[in-house]
Amino acid sequence: MYSEIVSYRVFLDSGTQKNRCFTFINLFNKNEEIIGVLQFLDEGLEIPDKRSDDVVHLQYPLTKFPYVLDVLRNEGPVFLGYWQNEFGKYGRIYTGSERVGEGEWEHVESKPGEN
Per residue in 12-37, pLDDT (tens digit) is 877 766 656 578 999 999 999 999 99
CB 8 within 8 A of CB 29: no
Of the chain, the end-to-end C-alpha distance in Å amounts to 51
Q: Categorize the per-residue pLDDT at 97 as very low, low, confident or very high, splitting at 50, 70 and 90.
A: confident
* Residue 110 confidence (pLDDT) above 60: no
pLDDT in the model for residue 104:
63
Q: In whole angstroms, what is the distance from residue 101 CA to residue 91 CA?
A: 27
Cα separation, 24 vs 11, whole angstroms: 5
Residue 68 main-chain phi, psi, to 5 deg: -65, -45
Q: What is the pTM of this model?
A: 0.77
User: What is the model's pLDDT at position 32?
Assistant: 95
Cβ–Cβ < 8 Å for 37, 54: no
Coarse DSSP helix, strand, coil percentages of the chain, rounded to the nearest 5 percent: 10, 40, 50
Distance between CA atoms of residues 3 and 51, nearest Å:
19
Q: Is the pLDDT of residue 68 over 80?
A: yes
**CA-CA distance, 93 to 71, in Å (whole number)?**
9
Domain boundaries, the chain: 2-95
